């Protein structure tokens, strides 16, 4: 089993997701290298790379960029680094020293059923199946009547977080919600959600002036759980799927962890 074989497997999960503008695919390493052990992760940070090296893992499948830029085949991550005079040789040197290859699974994995990012977050939050699709990416959920404050507490408990941020009246009635995991929504999307009668958006991270303040103006509740937090369960899901398809090969999830601490 080679790195290229694994990339082919990820490609076939959703071939349409691997178009010319896709960020998915090989980001570092020799595609012909035999795979000894695999780690899935949200982002291949230096801490994750150190974990991988200590465990003799030589292939990492990450959801987000390794070299900080959202690269595509036409504009690879490292080329964008060079263009912006960002020197990440400390990271590439570590990868070379430890013989680690990196694949990115982003577009192919967000909406993948059962094991993917949204499916695993929905299971973690114990939400029902969505009732409709508002666009190719966003789904509408209907929950038992509650309040924005109570839903924020529910999310905090299910995510195992010490705190969550939310905007809106804590007593706001909530029945219809959208999950915009990661950093996927925007002021324009919030306006569309509001027109569709959505009460609250559960999101990962948002820009305060560009996204949160428009939500305030619309009276739309927003619960912000953190980008990595909303996508970590889905990368654990990828590890489960890979173990099912490649039995006998050591495969595990390497947590990136919450990017923030809470005082």
Q: What is the pLDDT of residues 123-153, one digit of tens each?
A: 999 999 999 999 778 999 999 999 999 999 9
Cα(65)–Cα(105) distance, integer angstroms: 10
Q: Looking at residue 135, what is its pLDDT?
A: 79
Across the chain, what does the average pLDDT equal? 96
68 by Cβ neighbours in 10 Å (0-12 / 13-18 / 19+) ranks as: middle
Average pLDDT over residues 113-122: 98
Is the dihedral angle over the CA atoms 178, 186, 227, 155 positive or is it negative? negative
Q: Looking at residue 228, what is its pLDDT?
A: 97
Cα(78)–Cα(167) distance, integer angstroms: 37
Q: Looking at residue 199, what is its pLDDT?
A: 98
Q: Looking at residue 62, what is its pLDDT?
A: 98
Q: Looking at residue 110, what is its pLDDT?
A: 95
Q: What is the pLDDT of residues 14-70, one digit of tens each?
A: 999 988 899 999 999 999 999 999 999 999 999 999 999 999 999 999 999 999 999
Give the chain's length: 263
State yes or no: pLDDT of 172 exceeds 90.
Answer: yes
């Amino acid at each position: 089993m080679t790195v290229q074989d694994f990339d082919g497997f990820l490609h076939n999960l959703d071939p349409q997701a691997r178009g010319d503008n896709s960020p998915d695919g090989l980001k570092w390493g020799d595609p012909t290298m035999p795979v000894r052990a695999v780690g899935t992760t949200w982002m291949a940070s230096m801490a994750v790379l150190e974990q991988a090296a200590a465990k003799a893992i030589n292939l990492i499948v990450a959801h987000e960029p390794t070299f900080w830029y959202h690269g595509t085949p036409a504009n690879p991550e490292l080329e964008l680094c060079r263009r912006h005079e960002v020197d990440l040789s400390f990271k590439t040197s570590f990868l070379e020293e430890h013989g680690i290859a990196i694949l990115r699974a982003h577009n192919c994995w967000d909406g993948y059923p059962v094991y993917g990012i949204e499916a695993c977050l929905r299971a973690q939050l114990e939400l029902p199946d969505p009732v409709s699709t508002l666009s190719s990416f966003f789904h509408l959920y209907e929950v038992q009547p509650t309040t924005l404050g109570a839903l924020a507490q529910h999310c905090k408990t299910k995510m195992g977080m010490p705190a969550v941020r939310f905007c809106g009246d804590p007593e706001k009635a909530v029945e219809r919600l959208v999950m915009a995991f990661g950093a996927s929504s925007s002021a324009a999307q919030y306006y569309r959600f509001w027109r569709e009668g959505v009460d609250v958006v559960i999101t990962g991270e948002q820009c305060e002036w560009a996204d949160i303040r428009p939500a305030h103006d619309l009276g739309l509740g927003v619960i912000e759980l953190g980008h990595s937090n909303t996508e970590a369960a889905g990368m654990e899901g990828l590890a489960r799927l890979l173990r099912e398809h490649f039995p006998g090969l050591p495969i595990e999830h390497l947590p990136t962890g919450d990017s923030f601490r809470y005082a």
